[in-house]
């Protein structure tokens, strides 16, 4: 099951739907779903503080991807509102009166953030395209071989075994067969269009960097840490054509 979950980051929408668990099926073994109350151990206060700090940091990291805060006063006002809410204090403002402004800010900030991200992605692709040895494929995907490999390249309907790491252009890692300690196996008809094309330019033993424009990957679909319209970067090793 863990292997299937990890591979969904490369699979096309049709395949994702086909792999959905049947309704009512248990994802976790019964032993993992709920520990007996008597088995619970008191948590060290210092470790609890670190855990909650980490949670707060992750919440903030997610929030800053949606909002633009310009100065220290912005941060103070936002954090005070969150603190009052978490402590069940009364709001210092008439919340309903400010909802239209909140919606407007989210919409405007989202547009600005999206434009900046798209510009950064275009710059990344433009720079990569200029590198020696980069080949641009007919669907816009780009590939640069760092090791050629030997043997026959796969076809569009081949099944391949690969090791890979996938990141966003800023280096944020969203998937890695290396981290799982196991190469992935799948048909090239079942992966994103970028991979279907690019892997055909590799031979067993080859290593390559593949850059996938959004329309060759997930388009405007968000998927975990992958925001809509994201350019994806993969370091791939073709282990075997099956």
- Sketch the domain layout of the chain as residue ranges: 134-241
Distance of alpha carbon 138 from its chain centroid, rounded?
25
Phi-psi region for residue 195, left (φ > 0), alpha (ψ -120 to 50) or beta?
A: alpha
Contact 211, 128 (CB under 8 A): yes
Q: How confident is the model at residue 44 (pLDDT cuts 50, 70, 90)?
A: confident
Evaluate whether the domain defined by 134-241 bears CATH number 3.10.20.600. no
Cβ neighbours for 198, distance < 8 A, ≥ 6 positions apart: 137, 141, 143, 208, 210, 212, 236
Q: Phi and psi (nearest 5°) for 73?
A: -65, -35
Range scoring the smallest mean pLDDT among 28-37, 77-86, 160-169, 204-213: 28-37
Q: Are the C-beta atoms of residues 202 and 209 closer than 8 Å to each other?
A: no
Phi, psi of 29 (to 5 degrees): -60, 155
Confidence grade of residue 4 (pLDDT, cut at 50, 70, 90): very low
Q: What is the pTM of this model?
A: 0.73
In the block, tokens 């890695």 appear at: 176
Residue 200 pLDDT > 60? yes
């Amino acid at each position: 099951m863990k292997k299937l979950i990890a591979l969904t980051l490369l699979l096309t929408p049709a395949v994702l739907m086909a792999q959905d668990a049947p309704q009512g099926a248990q994802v976790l073994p019964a032993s993992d779903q709920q520990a007996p109350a008597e088995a619970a151990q008191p948590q060290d206060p210092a470790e609890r503080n670190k855990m909650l700090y980490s949670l707060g940091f992750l919440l903030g990291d997610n929030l800053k991807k949606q909002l633009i805060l310009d100065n220290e006063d912005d941060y103070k006002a936002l954090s005070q509102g969150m603190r009052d809410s978490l402590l069940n204090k009364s709001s210092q403002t008439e919340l309903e009166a400010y909802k239209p402004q909140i919606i407007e800010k989210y919409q405007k900030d989202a547009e600005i953030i999206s434009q900046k991200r798209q510009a950064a992605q275009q710059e990344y692709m433009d720079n990569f395209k200029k590198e020696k040895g980069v080949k641009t494929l007919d669907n816009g995907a780009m590939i640069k071989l760092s090791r050629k490999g030997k043997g026959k390249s796969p076809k569009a309907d081949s099944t391949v075994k690969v090791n890979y790491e996938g990141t966003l252009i800023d280096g944020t890692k969203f998937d890695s067969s290396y981290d799982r300690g196991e190469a992935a196996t799948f048909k090239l008809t079942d992966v994103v269009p970028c991979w279907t094309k690019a892997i055909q330019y590799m031979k067993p033993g080859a290593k390559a960097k593949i850059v996938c424009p959004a329309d060759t990957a997930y388009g405007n679909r968000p998927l975990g840490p992958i925001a809509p319209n994201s350019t994806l970067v993969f370091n791939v090793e073709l282990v075997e054509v099956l």
